[in-house]
Amino acid sequence: MPRMRVFYEDWQMECCGTPFAVGDEVAWRLVPYRRKDRRRNAGHGAEAWVENHGGPDRATVGRVHAVELVHQEYLARHDPLAVDHPEPEPGTLVLRPAGRRLEEVPDGRTLEPVDACPKWFEEDEEPPPRQVPYRVRRTVGAVVTLDATGSVDLPRPTADATPDEPGDRP
């Protein structure tokens, strides 16, 4: 059985993924990383990533051997909670910016061995009051060690499928 490392991004799991655990058999559409992406460590040491929104017509089938959550530290350069705003007049609608810019901390990545991959990923940040920049730690996905056993064809959408609503196309 060939063993491979696969990166499952947080948004791919949260959108359309199904949680899994060590020992589970899975069938995933895998897209290999290009050599230059692997040199930049784009997949956190993985050979391929899970693509739930397209990708190949075949799924790689295998048994999950290990799961490691990928945590990345960031510096937040804007803190909307750190700005003192004057008290508005009663009945006044006030819109305040809520965005922030995250900048990766070099060498701020860690791997945490776990027994199962969650459906929803976490983010921790320093509580207010805080200095800007402040630290944010996000779980950005999971690196899965997969014992690949083969591949299967995936169903293709049929041209004669009935649309759900008028004007919808399969």
Mean pLDDT of 141-164: 75
More confident residue, 1 or 23: 23
Which residue, among 27, 15, 58, 62, has the nearest Cα to 156 in the 3D structure?
58
Residue 121 near residue 14, CB atoms below 8 Å: yes
Would you say residue 42 has pLDDT above 60?
yes
Q: Could you tell me the pLDDT band of residue 110, with boundaries at 50, 70 and 90?
A: very high
Q: Could you tell me the pLDDT band of residue 170, with boundaries at 50, 70 and 90?
A: very low
Phi-psi region of 107 (alpha: psi -120 to 50; beta: other; left: phi over 0): left
Residue 56 near residue 31, CB atoms below 8 Å: yes
Average pLDDT of the chain? Answer: 83
Residue 40's pLDDT is 60
Please report, rounded to a whole number, the percentage of residues in the chain having pLDDT higher than 90.
51
- Report DSSP letters for 27-90, one per residue: EE-EEEPPHHHHHTTTTTT-SEEE-SSS--SEEEEEEEEEEEEEEEEEEE---GGGS--PPPPT
User: How do residues 117-138 score in pLDDT, each as one tens digit?
Assistant: 999 999 998 887 778 788 899 9
Tell me the one-letter amino acid at 130: R
The tokens for 137 are: 């730690």
Mean pLDDT of 30-58: 82
pTM: 0.76
Using DSSP's 3-state secondary structure scheme, residue 126 falls into: coil
Mean pLDDT of 70-77: 91
